[in-house]
Amino acid sequence: MIEIENVHKSFGALKVLKGIDLTVAKGEVVSVIGGSGSGKSTLLTCINGLEPIDSGRILVDGTEVHAKSTDLNKLRRKIGIVFQQFNAFPHLTVLENVTLAPRKVKGMSKSDAEEIAVKHLNHVGLGDKLKVYPSRLSGGQQQRMAIARALAMSPDYMLFDEVTSALDPQLVGEVLDTLKLLADEGMTMICVTHEMGFARDVSNRVAFFDQGVMAEIGPPEQIFGDAKNEATRKFLSSVR
């Protein structure tokens, strides 16, 4: 379970998160929508401790992420994150990209790591690209590789930060299909997204962020059909 309690976060004078409360249960898929600069992406990087927070707390399975005593390297093994920029490691093949962390962080043997990597790469449809370098892959393929790379650490939670925003329109579908597959398998996911169709079809709950505040959260039918908040309605009408 991920518990976010009254989290505040600023970059200098700019307040990015102004008291966020959100609990995500095991197996749940929560989509986070909202305009640019609403703090959605920042929240994700706070959850896995890549960014410090000013106040409040975030608990992952009861472990406080920003406590001094928390071993973040260990905690991050169970929280996978995929970014908008694919961040493929260009000097490694697709297979090596995916086996790197299992081998060097978890200490797995090469053959064990490769077995897991091949499984996940097949899963995301890259089983025939094992020996290829990322520069030879399309954006969609690189992003699917990044998803497999995160999954190879067998995380309990997956965070997706606008994973289709840097893709050509015709490549968005293949990545969203991969996310749907994961959701169907019961992965706990928080997806920051601009894909309203995806948010509506796949999520258990949709949260709308507006200027650092979670203005509204609810089941997709309610958010997309009968939003209570004025800002939510305005945002949804502008993206449709």
Partner 1 sequence: MFDYTFQWRQAIRALPQMLDGALVTMQIAVLSMAIGVTIAVFLAVARNSSSRWLRAPATAWVEVARNTPALFQIYMAHFGLGSFGIYLSPYIALLAGIAFNNAGYLCETFRGALRAIPATQIRAGRSLGMGPAKAFRLIVMPQMFRISFLPTMNQAVWAILMTSLGVTVGMNSDLTGVTQDLNARTFRTFEFFAMAAVIYYLIAKAVMLGARLIAWRMFRY
User: Which residues bind to partner 1, rule: CB under 8 A?
Assistant: 48, 50, 73-74, 76-77, 80-81, 83, 85, 87, 89-92, 100-101, 104-106, 133-135, 146, 149-150, 153
Cβ 225 to partner 1 shortest distance, Å: 35
CA distance 58 to 195: 26
Residue 183 · residue 147 · CB < 8 Å: no
Helix (H, G, I), strand (E, B) or coil at 213: strand
Spell 40-75 as b/e; 16+ CB within 10 A means b: bbbbbbbbbbebebeebebbbeeeebbeeeeeeeeb
Cβ 185 to partner 1 shortest distance, Å: 21
Between 132 and 236, name the residue whose CB sits nearer to partner 1: 132
Cβ 101 to partner 1 shortest distance, Å: 4
Token pair belonging to 124: 């995301």
Between 87 and 165, name the residue whose CB sits nearer to partner 1: 87
Cβ 111 to partner 1 shortest distance, Å: 19
Residue 186, H or E segment = none
Between 26 and 136, name the residue whose CB sits nearer to partner 1: 136
Cβ 77 to partner 1 shortest distance, Å: 4
Environment class of 104 (CB within 10 Å of its CB; exposed 0-12, middle 13-18, buried 19+)? exposed
In three-state form (DSSP H/G/I as H, E/B as E, the rest C), the secondary structure along 48-89 is CCCCCCCEEEEEECCEECCCCCCCHHHHHHHEEEECCCCCCC
Cβ 200 to partner 1 shortest distance, Å: 28
Residue 10 · residue 51 · CB < 8 Å: no
CA distance 58 to 211: 20
Between 133 and 229, name the residue whose CB sits nearer to partner 1: 133
Between 51 and 64, name the residue whose CB sits nearer to partner 1: 51
CA neighbours within 13 Å on the CB side: how many for 32? 29
Between 36 and 73, name the residue whose CB sits nearer to partner 1: 73
Cβ 228 to partner 1 shortest distance, Å: 35
Between 59 and 75, name the residue whose CB sits nearer to partner 1: 75
